Structure formats: structure tokens, C-alpha cells
Amino acid sequence: MKILGIESSCDETAAAIVEDGANILSNVVVSQIDIHSEYGGVIPEIAARSHIEAIQPVINKAFKDANLAIDDIDAIAVTHTPGLVGSLLVGTLAARTLAVVHNKPFYPTHHLKSHIYANWLSGYQPEFPLLAAVISGGHTQIIYMERHDHFEIIGTTRDDAIGECFDKVAKILGLPYPGGPSVANVAKNGNPDKYHLPIPHVDGLDFSFSGIKTAVLRAVQKELNLPITTPSHELKDHLSAEQIADFAASFQKTAVDILLKKLQTATETRKVKSILLAGGVSANQALRDELQKRFAKDYQVFYPAPQFSTDNGAMVASAAYYSIQAGDPYSDPYQLDISPRSTIY
């Protein structure tokens, strides 16, 4: 079964054709990072206009790279929730039009579900039951799966997502957007034990990351002997390269520790065979290394190839394939609606 997957939930315009949920025939991604880095974050209106310009060329290239025509595919899948309203509209409208004009089965797909299924794109087959840590700029969740297309959220953030925290700490340290790769890069040269940051106490499997960025801010102000009224955007002018690296490394170590301690607690409440990382923050190498160190002895450990950690169309096609295998019916493209917020289903 060959499925065209289309993704436009935020600032990547992507399309891919995937066979049987794992065999990637093409994968095309146009990123807007260079556009939004000037503003230090994604501007929704600019993102939507950029998707409009890119969506058709991206889809055309996906077919060209796969050496296929639209008559050769069996279904069309598209991200319809969650995400930026304008961005979602562009991708879903393109997918709906193709489905209607060419009479193709149509599968709207949840963005977080797609990130989980990025783990199947490398040809691996994680064993169920499993735990998936979905970690990105907008989400931090622990999801329990007994089988394909079954999702139970057993832990979530009560405030900021872990990726958002990386972005905000990057701003404090004067590092460029996106913050995750910037912090990870400079942290390689830092001492992760230089600054001891507090770990918030949250009952159960939920997370809280909002206090950590404030702790970094106060630690920087204290290190520089500056009053707490000093604006965060002025701190970078006083920091040395060594201090930036040490703060980045110390923050990264703390964030990773918080996440993995909750995962460890989750394994004590649910019997699982596999542990997965999913979402943009899953690309963080320090996190991957520590996950292997703590869990690989007792569990199968998986994380996507780096190019599939961030948004892409291949993960959408893979998620749709396994939904079809689980018996989900296709949808009416005339009835599809988008939703900027929704719980994984």
C-alpha cells in the first residue's frame, strides 16, 4: 500500500510517499527556519503564506522522486490537528483537493500520532506494549500503547513543553533559534555539573518545565552579579563563551534527567517491552545517549533517524498505514475540519 503523506502543521512544508508504513519512496521537506530565525520564533501568518508558496512544488517533487503518478498511490493522509490554524488549512486543503479530484481514500491524521510512528520508518518493529515520550516545542507527554492505534496519555506537562524550555533558555544565553539544536551544540563544550538547577516536584507522571527556565535566568543573573530586574535579553552581552557552554550543559542535563526519571517511574507502573522517543527534542544526542544508558539493558529502545525527528510527511503516511491496518475507515474529504488543539486519539 502506497500512501502520500502531507504535513504542514507548523513551519515545515512536507510530502512523502511511503509503502506499507516503512518503505520510504520519497520524502521532501521545505523548512522555514531561516525565515523565522530572524524573529526568534515562528510567526503564524508568515508560516501560512510560506506554505501556500511551497505546498504544490513539494507534492510534485515527492511524486517525481518516487517516480510515481498519483494514480499509483492507494491513499492520501494529512495532518489536521494539532497545529497552527493557517498552516493546517494549507496542507489539508491541498490533500482534500487531491482526494476529491482523483477519488482517493482520505485519512486525516493526528500530528503526535505521526511523530510516534516515525519510529517505524527505519524498518524497526517496536514490540508492544510500549511507552512513547512525545517531546517537542509544544508537547511533553508519556503515552502508553498496548497495540497499534491505541494511545493512552499517562503523563503530560502542566505548563511549558520541554522544547519550549530549550528555546527560552537559548534566548537567555543569546543563542539562535531554534533553541534545541543551539543549546545542544554549545553544551558539548560545557560542564554539565557546573550549575545545579532545581528539579520541580510534580506528583505522578506529569511534568513541569516553567520553573527551570526561570532558574536558569536567576542563575545567570547571580553568576554575573546583576540584579534580577536585568532584562533577559541583555544578559548575553555579559556572558563568556565558557559560561554559555556551562549553563547550556547544566540545563540540558537537568531537562534530560527530569524526562527520564518520569519515564523510569512509568515503567514501574506499566509493564512494557519497548520505550520510544518521538518529536523534535528526540533528536537531542545527549538524551539519546542517556536513554540508552538507563534503559537499553531491560527494554527495547527506539528513536527516529534525525531527519524524521522533526516534522515530515513520511511519518504522516506511516501513521495512516497503521491506522488502516487497525481497521480505521477513511474519511469524507468534504467533511474534514482542522483543530489547533486536540488530544491524541
Spatial contact of 26 and 17, defined as CB atoms under 8 Å apart:
yes
Query: What is the chain's percent helix, strand, coil content, to nearest 5?
Result: 45, 20, 35
Q: What is the pLDDT of residue 286?
A: 97
Q: What is the pLDDT of residue 204?
A: 94
Q: What is the pLDDT of residue 41?
A: 86
**CATH superfamily placement of domain 127-303:** ATPase, nucleotide binding domain (3.30.420.40)
Low-confidence ranges of the chain (pLDDT < 50): none
Residue 77 main-chain phi, psi, to 5 deg: -125, 150
Prediction pTM value: 0.94
CA distance 161 to 152: 18
The CATH code of the domain at 2-119+308-325 is 3.30.420.40
Q: What b-and-e string marks burial along 85-95, b requiring 16 or more CB atoms within 10 Å of the CB?
A: ebbbbbbbbbb
Torsion sign across C-alpha atoms 301, 305, 308, 309: positive
Q: Do domains 2-119+308-325 and 127-303 have the same CATH topology?
A: yes
Spatial contact of 117 and 21, defined as CB atoms under 8 Å apart:
yes
Q: What residue segments make up the domains of the chain, in order of their start?
A: 2-119+308-325, 127-303
How distant, in Å, are the alpha carbons of 9, 97, 261, 264, 277 from that of 154?
24, 37, 14, 13, 15
